[in-house]
Chains A and B, each alone.
Chain A
Amino acid sequence: MENIDAARLQMAFTLIFHIVFACIGMVMPFFMVVSHKKWLNTGNPVYLQLTKAWQKGVAIFFVIGAVSGTALSFELGLLWPEFMEHAGPIIGMPFSLEGAAFFVEAIALGFYLYGWNKIPPKFHWFTGVIVGIAGVASGILVVSANGWMNAPSGFDYVDGKFLNIDPVAALLNPAWFTQALHMVLAAFTATGFAVAGIHAIQILRNKQKEIHKKAFKIAITFGAIAAILQPISGDISAKDVAKRQPVKLAAMEAHYETAKGVPLYIGGIVDHQQKEVHYKIEIPNALSFLAFGDFNAEIKGLNDFPEDEIPNVPIVHYAFQIMVGLGGILLFAGLFFFFVNARKKQWLSKKFFWKVFALLTPAGFIALEAGWIVTEVGRQPWIIHKIMRTKDAVTPMPGIVYSFFLYVILYSILTLAVAWLLRRQIKSLNNTPKLSV
C-alpha cells in the first residue's frame, strides 16, 4: 500500500471511530440532564435510576471520545506534517478554543459525576447542563476547522506562501456555519435514535418497561426534532456546496455532463469508466432546483473539471445516497413518533411500534458516517481546497500502513469491549429491583 493511501485510511478509520464516541459524549448529557430535571421536579425515583444509568454511559463514551480525540489531535501532525505546518497557525483559533471548551466540559463532568450528595443539587444539575453545552461548543469548533479545509479563508496565498493571516476570518470561514449546523443536528439525530432504539429493544424484551419507556421518550424527542429539522440544514448545505465546491456536488450526484435543468438521481450504479449511472431513478429538474433554487439552472458536470481535481465519484455518490436515504427514513420515523404520541397513544403498547425504532438503532450513525465520507472524500484530492493537495501533505516517514493496521486492531477490540460493557450496563439496569412508588 502506498504511504498516502495508508495515511488516508488511518485518518478515515480513526475519525469514523472517534465521531461515534464524540457525538454520543456530546448529546447524551442532554438526555441525562432532562431525566435529572424530571427527577428533581417529580421526585419519581425511576428518573433518578435512569439518570444514573445514563451518567455511566456518558462517562464511558466521554472518556473514549477524549482519548481517541487526543490521539487525533496528534495524528493531524503525525500524518500530515506539511499541512499542519502551514494550516496549524491559521486554524489555531478554533483548535485553541476547542481545547478550552473541552477543558470546561471535563471540569463540569468531574463535578457532575462525583458531585452526587456533595454539592448543592441545583448547582450539580447545572454542571450537567454545562457538560452538554461545552460539548456542543467543542463539536462546532472542530467542525469549523474542517470547514476551513473546504473553504479556506483568512489568508492571502502568494507564491506558495500563506500571508496576511487573519485567524478570526479563518474561524468564520464560509463553510463553518452550514457544516456545524448539519453536524450538530446529525449528532442529535444519530444519538437520539440510537439511544431510543436500544431502549426500544429492551421494551420488546419486556424488561423494566417503565424505565425504558421514559428513557425512550426523552431520547426520541431529541432525535425526532433534529431529524425533522435536518432537511432544512441539508438544503442550506447543498446550496452552499453548489456554489463553493461545484465538483463535490457533481460527484455527490455522479453528474457528468454539464447541462441545464438537471435531474436528481436516486440510487443507481456509477460506471466511472463510461461516465454513466445505470439503474437510477430520475426526478426531472430537481437537482438544478435543489442546488440553485431554479429548475433550469446550469450545473457543471464532472467532465468539465480537470481529471486530477475530481474525487472518487462512486464512493461520494453512494455515501450521499445512503445519507439522504436514511435521513429521509429518520425524518418520517420522527414524524411517526409525534403522530403516535399525539393521536394514537394505544399504539405505544403494540409491538410493531417498538420494532420500528429497534430497527432504526444504527440508522442515524450510518447516515452520519456516510455524510462525513461525502464531505471528506468529496474534498479530495485537496487537503486545503484548491491550495494544497493531500499527497503533498503526507508524512515523509514510510510504513504508515503498520500504524494503520495497529489502529484497526486496537479500535476494533475497543469497539467490541465497549459493546460488551454496554450490554452489562443494560443487564444490570434490567436486573435492579423495581424502585417505582
Chain B
Amino acid sequence: MITVVLFFLAFSLLLYVLLGGADFGAGIIELFSSEDNQKITKKTIYRVMGPVWEANHIWIIILIVILWVAFPQYYKVMVTSLHIPITLMLIGITLRGVAFVFRHYDAYVDNSQRIYNWLFRVSSLVTPIFLGMIFGGMISSKIVIPTEEFTPSFAEAYITPWFNPFSFLVGIFFASLCAFLSAVLLIGEADEEGYPVYVRKAKIATIVVVILGFITISYGYFADRYFVEGIIKNPISVSMIILSALCLVPLWFFIKKGNRIYSRIFAGIQVILIIAVALIPHFPNILLIKNESMSLLQNTAPDSVIKVLGISLLIGGGIILPGLFHLLKSFKLIKILERR
C-alpha cells in the first residue's frame, strides 16, 4: 500500500506543478505583457482557467494531507523549519485567489480593477517563488534538527534553511517554469488575436527556463551542494538531463509551429523530467538535512494507517479523476480529443 501512497504523492505533485503551475504562470505572463496583451490574456485566462481554477489548487492540499498522514515526522520537520516561507506562500495563495474572484465577479468594472489586476499579477509571481524557495529549502541541506548537544540559533533553525541564494534560484526557476507552462498552454487556447503573442511568449519562456535551470544547477555545483552532487553522480538523473536536453529540439520546433497538441506533450515531458531529476538521486531522502540523514520511508505511519489512506486515495481518485477529466474535456482543454 505504501507504493499506492507514494504514487499519489508523486502524482499530486506532478499535477500541482502542471496545472497549478500553468495557472500561476498565466498571472506572470500578464505581468510581463504590454497593456493590450494584458487584456487579451485576462480574457483568455478567465475563459480557460475559470472552470478548472479551483480544482488546480486542490492538489497542494492532497499533497500535504498525504504527507502528514503517511509521513508525519517528515511533515513536522518541514513545517517547523520552513514555517516562514510557508506562511508567506499561504498569504500569496490567499491574495491571489481573492484577486481572481474580485476581478471577475465584481459587479461593476471600474478603477478598482487596477488594484485587483495588480494584486493578481504580483501574487502570481511571488507565490511560486516562495513555493520554489520552500522546495529549495528542502533540498539545500541547511535544515538542522536540534539535538541534545546542539541547539541552533533562531537564524540557523528558521531562516538560513530557506533564505539563501540557492533556494532563491530554485524559486525563480520554478516561477519561470510556471510561465513557460502557461505560455504553452495558452498557445492552444488563444484565438487568432492571442495566438502569435503566446507563441512568442512560449519561446522566450523556454529560453529563460533553460538559462535559469543552468544557473541554478551551476550555482549549486560551485557552492558545492550535496544536492547537485547527487544528481551528477547518479546515472539515471544524468541520462534524464540528457534526454531533457534532446527533447528541447522537438519542443522548440512545435512551439515555433504553434502546434497545440505536441507543444503541450513536450512541455509536460520536460516537467516530468525536471521533477524526476530533482527527486530520484536522493530518494528516499527528500528533505536533505545538515546534521542528519532522514529518509521518507523511515518512521512512516503504522501499516493500518497506510492501508486506510491507500484505499481512501484509490476510492477518491476513482471519483475525482473521471470527474476532472470530464471537466477538462467539457471545456475543451484536452486538445488531443478534439477533431480538427
Q: Which residues of A contact B (CB under 8 A)?
A: 56, 59-60, 62-64, 66-71, 73-78, 81-82, 84-86, 88-90, 92-93, 95-97, 99-100, 102-104, 106-111, 113-115, 118-119, 164-168, 395-398, 403, 406, 410, 414, 417, 421, 424-425, 427-429
What residues of chain B lie closer than 8 Å to A73, measured between beta carbons?
Answer: 61, 64-65
> B101 an interface residue at 8 Å Cβ cutoff?
yes
Contact flag A113-B50 (CB < 8 Å), given A78-B87, A89-B301? yes
Contact flag A78-B79 (CB < 8 Å), given A66-B97, A99-B316, A427-B107? yes
Q: How far is the CA of A82 from the CA of B79 in the complex (A)?
A: 11
What residues of chain A lie closer than 8 Å to B302, measured between beta carbons?
Answer: 89, 165
The listed residue (A77, A93, A108) touching B308 by CB distance below 8 A is A93
SS of A interface (majority): helix
Q: Which residues of B contact A (CB under 8 A)?
A: 50-55, 57-58, 60-62, 64-66, 68-70, 72-73, 75-76, 78-80, 83, 86-87, 90-91, 93-98, 100-102, 105-108, 146, 154, 157-158, 301-302, 304-305, 308-309, 312-313, 315-316, 319-320, 323-324, 327, 330-331
Q: How far is the CA of A279 from the CA of B301 in the complex (A)?
A: 53
The listed residue (A84, A109, A410) touching B72 by CB distance below 8 A is A84
Q: Which residue of A lies closest to B110 (CB)?
A: A424
What residues of chain A lie closer than 8 Å to B313, measured between beta carbons?
Answer: 96
Cβ of A406 to closest chain B Cβ, rounded Å = 7
Is B93 a contact of A67 with CB atoms below 8 Å? yes
What residues of chain B lie closer than 8 Å to A398, measured between beta carbons?
Answer: 154
Is A63 a contact of B75 with CB atoms below 8 Å? no
Contact flag A104-B323 (CB < 8 Å), given A78-B83, A93-B309? yes
Is A92 a contact of B93 with CB atoms below 8 Å? no
Is A85 a contact of B158 with CB atoms below 8 Å? no
| 16 additional A-B residue pairs with CB within 8 Å, beyond A88-B301, A92-B68, A96-B62 | A68-B94, A74-B86, A77-B79, A86-B72, A90-B305, A95-B69, A100-B315, A106-B54, A108-B323, A111-B51, A113-B51, A165-B301, A165-B302, A165-B304, A421-B102, A425-B105
The 18 listed contacts between A and B (C-beta, < 8 Å) are A59-B105, A64-B98, A71-B94, A84-B75, A88-B72, A89-B301, A90-B305, A92-B65, A96-B65, A96-B316, A97-B312, A100-B315, A107-B327, A115-B51, A115-B330, A118-B331, A417-B102, A421-B107
List 6 A-B pairs, minimum CB-CB distance, nearest first: A92-B69, A100-B316, A428-B107, A89-B301, A77-B79, A106-B54
Q: Which residue of A lies closest to B315 (CB)?
A: A100
Is A167 a contact of B97 with CB atoms below 8 Å? no
What residues of chain B lie closer than 8 Å to A70, measured between beta carbons?
Answer: 57, 60-61, 90, 93-94
Cβ of B310 to closest chain A Cβ, rounded Å = 10
The listed residue (A62, A84, A111) touching B330 by CB distance below 8 A is A111
Cβ of B51 to closest chain A Cβ, rounded Å = 4
What residues of chain B lie closer than 8 Å to A111, measured between beta carbons?
Answer: 51, 327, 330
What residues of chain B lie closer than 8 Å to A167, measured between beta carbons?
Answer: 304-305, 308-309
Q: How far is the CA of A51 from the CA of B89 in the complex (A)?
A: 35
Cβ of B102 to closest chain A Cβ, rounded Å = 6
What residues of chain B lie closer than 8 Å to A114, measured between beta carbons?
Answer: 50-51, 331
Cβ of A431 to closest chain B Cβ, rounded Å = 9
What residues of chain B lie closer than 8 Å to A60, measured between beta carbons?
Answer: 101, 105
Q: Which residue of A lies closest to B87 (CB)?
A: A403
The listed residue (B55, B304, B305, B319) touching A100 by CB distance below 8 A is B319
Is A168 a contact of B308 with CB atoms below 8 Å? yes
The listed residue (B105, B319, B324) touching A56 by CB distance below 8 A is B105
Is B52 a contact of A110 with CB atoms below 8 Å? yes
Cβ of A101 to closest chain B Cβ, rounded Å = 9
Is A103 a contact of B51 with CB atoms below 8 Å? no
What residues of chain B lie closer than 8 Å to A88, measured between beta carbons?
Answer: 68-69, 72, 75, 301
Contact flag A77-B76 (CB < 8 Å), given A93-B312, A104-B323, A165-B304? yes
Is B80 a contact of A81 with CB atoms below 8 Å? yes
Is A99 a contact of B62 with CB atoms below 8 Å? yes
Is A109 a contact of B54 with CB atoms below 8 Å? yes
Contact flag A110-B86 (CB < 8 Å), given A71-B94, A74-B64, A166-B304? no
Q: Which residue of A lies closest to B146 (CB)?
A: A396
The listed residue (B66, B101, B304, B312) touching A64 by CB distance below 8 A is B101
Is A102 a contact of B102 with CB atoms below 8 Å? no
Cβ of B307 to closest chain A Cβ, rounded Å = 9
Q: Which residue of A lies closest to B66 (CB)?
A: A96
Is B68 a contact of A110 with CB atoms below 8 Å? no
Q: How far is the CA of A427 from the CA of B315 in the complex (A)?
A: 45
Is A67 a contact of B70 with CB atoms below 8 Å? no
Contact flag A103-B62 (CB < 8 Å), given A78-B87, A86-B72, A168-B308? yes
Contact flag A85-B98 (CB < 8 Å), given A63-B54, A71-B90? no
Is A165 a contact of B305 with CB atoms below 8 Å? yes
Is A95 a contact of B54 with CB atoms below 8 Å? no
Cβ of A95 to closest chain B Cβ, rounded Å = 5
Is B107 a contact of A119 with CB atoms below 8 Å? no
Is A103 a contact of B79 with CB atoms below 8 Å? no
Is A107 a contact of B90 with CB atoms below 8 Å? no
What residues of chain A lie closer than 8 Å to B102, measured between beta carbons?
Answer: 417, 421
What residues of chain A lie closer than 8 Å to B97, measured between beta carbons?
Answer: 63-64, 66-67
Cβ of A111 to closest chain B Cβ, rounded Å = 6
Q: Which residue of A lies closest to B104 (CB)?
A: A59
What residues of chain A lie closer than 8 Å to B60, measured between beta carbons?
Answer: 70
Q: How far is the CA of A267 from the CA of B296 in the complex (A)?
A: 54
What residues of chain B lie closer than 8 Å to A68, measured between beta carbons?
Answer: 94
What residues of chain A lie closer than 8 Å to B58, measured between beta carbons?
Answer: 99, 102-103, 106
Cβ of A256 to closest chain B Cβ, rounded Å = 40
Q: Which residue of B lies closest to A163 (CB)?
A: B302
Q: How far is the CA of A74 from the CA of B64 in the complex (A)?
A: 8
